[in-house]
Chains A and B, each alone.
Chain A
């Protein structure tokens, strides 16, 4: 048991507990906070894999920006505590069952095919730290097209938001 093994299990356990808490808390604020804990634990797992940049981006983008907006909306709408019955209704229930079964099959398959230590070994084999310099170089050479397409999608989303807001403003006037 090296320090990496111990940390892997700690982060793994925290991220699982966080993920279960997201769906078991009745109050949306607590669910959102549990999701932040999960993101953190996953950032820890990324650090163990040597992907420091991905870990930092995970915290900045998901934990730092997106979840703040989630909290914002929950607070402004003042969503109350959900009752057990209202949580799952009709079609959503069917979808949840289908997805749950698929996830269970996936989990069983991974547990059957992979030995207990494989994930840890492969994680340790790749602990070579990937520098931001290399990521930047790859983004502007090998992955230039996906990179530019992503930026176009973001631009489209930005313009879309402005158009929607402007239309509302004009209607008011």
Chain B
């Protein structure tokens, strides 16, 4: 067979199939570990009956979802009601295309990059695709023709729009310092670094310290905004059970409901992979990725990336079963008054110190930390003064429960 054909068509297809299946298996693994870890955190067992350690539980769940009756209520807008779960799942699946999941692997003398597509605008593509996920939620909520669903959808879209800004601004500092040394550039065969390419960002963290050490405040802002984008606790107001039944997927049953959940877990996996690439060094781990020959180093780099993403996913679960939910005004205040200023400060400080200290990454790291502390202190001070000067009735609070006085 023609070797060019293999390189241009068959290998990309293998990569796409591999990653797509890895995502779906990852979703199953996440569902199992979420239930087991939550059990462990709450000092109970969790599902442990189906298969060893309950490992086959996700498959049992999947079969159950498939065989449940697919109820479409009479009052829904049918075309959009059916379309909405797909509108949430597809962006989650295609965003992973530009994430580099390892260095290059050499098979039969041919070097294959472990990434589906290294496009010119890499990180912008991810921001564009993830910003589309909100349509699935909004359309699903509206098409359900249910007040609880609509409220959940509106909350979710307001939250996603607010936190998207932080998501975009927090990475600008990283892009500014992405700079590849000459020898890597000649090895890649390009003239200049393209800071938007996720592969270049990951490679730069092999040559320089990991971005988490230089941009720690931006890392915290980005991670927090990502929790909000995936609608996970403490940001799951869109599906707050006590207030909204189940939020935007109240009217969904059977496999459509399962697809909403698959999309949420897929978003988490893609988000973790992006954080690992941007801030946690990608596939680098203190030189371990260069061990072994050209084939094994590729396998090891993939394994490192896989383990790092897994650890980050554990943090997702850990946070969910530890923190309580925000109140709506707290959520908006936190996003606009703390996260956004921190992200903006990191841009200003990184740029200024880059010129002032002649590109010393140590000073930029220290400067970022100090500036973030100062900004948070100032905002907290202003908010405290503001709160004290206001009459207490104006603060947002739940309406008083009727009949509570009688009980007391």
Chain A residues in contact with chain B, CB under 8 A? 29-30, 33, 36, 52-53, 55-57, 59-60, 63-65, 68-69, 71-72, 75-76, 129, 131-133
Contacts and interface: CB of A to CB of B under 8 A. Distances in A.
B120 to A, nearest CB: 5
Given A59-B132, A72-B157, A75-B138, 12 more contacts: A29-B139, A33-B80, A52-B120, A53-B120, A56-B125, A60-B128, A60-B131, A63-B128, A63-B131, A64-B131, A64-B164, A72-B154
B124 A60 contact: yes
Contacts of B161: 65, 68-69
B134 interface: yes
A30 B138 CA distance: 13
Contact of B157 (A30, A56, A68, A132): A68
Contacts of A53: 120-121, 124
B194 A133 contact: yes
Contact of A56 (B121, B160, B192): B121
B77, B128, B150, B192, most chain A CB atoms within 10 A: B128
Nearest to A27: B77
B128 A64 contact: yes
Contacts of B125: 56
Given A33-B139, A131-B194, A132-B121, A75 B128 contact: no
Interface in B86-132: 119-121, 124-125, 127-129, 131-132
Interface of B: 77, 80, 119-121, 124-125, 127-129, 131-132, 134-135, 138-139, 142, 150, 153-154, 157-158, 160-161, 164, 192, 194, 196
Given A65-B131, A68-B134, A76 B124 contact: no
A133 B196 CA distance: 9
A33 B150 CA distance: 17
Contacts of A59: 128-129, 131-132
A56 B124 contact: yes
B120 A131 contact: yes
A30 B77 CA distance: 11
B200 to A, nearest CB: 12
Contact of A52 (B119, B138, B139): B119
A60 B126 CA distance: 10
A64 B154 contact: no
A65 B125 CA distance: 15
Contacts of B134: 64, 68
B121 A29 contact: no
B138 A71 contact: yes
A71 B8 CA distance: 41
A75 B119 contact: no
Nearest to A54: B121
Contacts of B154: 72, 75-76
Contacts of B153: 75
A64 B132 contact: yes
Contacts of B142: 29, 71, 75
Nearest to B196: A132
B194 to A, nearest CB: 7
A68 B133 CA distance: 11
Contacts of A69: 161
Contacts of A36: 135
Nearest to B158: A72
A69 B161 CA distance: 9
Q: Which 5 A/B pairs are nearest by Cβ-Cβ distance? A: A64-B131, A59-B128, A56-B124, A52-B121, A60-B128
A59 B192 CA distance: 26
A50 to B, nearest CB: 9
A60 B128 CA distance: 5
A170 to B, nearest CB: 14
A71 B143 CA distance: 12
Contact of A60 (B77, B127, B160): B127
Given A129-B120, A131-B194, A56 B128 contact: yes
A166 to B, nearest CB: 14
A132 B164 CA distance: 21
B248 to A, nearest CB: 12
20 contacts: A29-B77, A29-B139, A29-B142, A30-B80, A36-B135, A52-B119, A57-B124, A60-B131, A64-B164, A65-B131, A68-B161, A72-B154, A72-B157, A72-B158, A75-B138, A75-B154, A129-B120, A131-B120, A131-B194, A132-B194
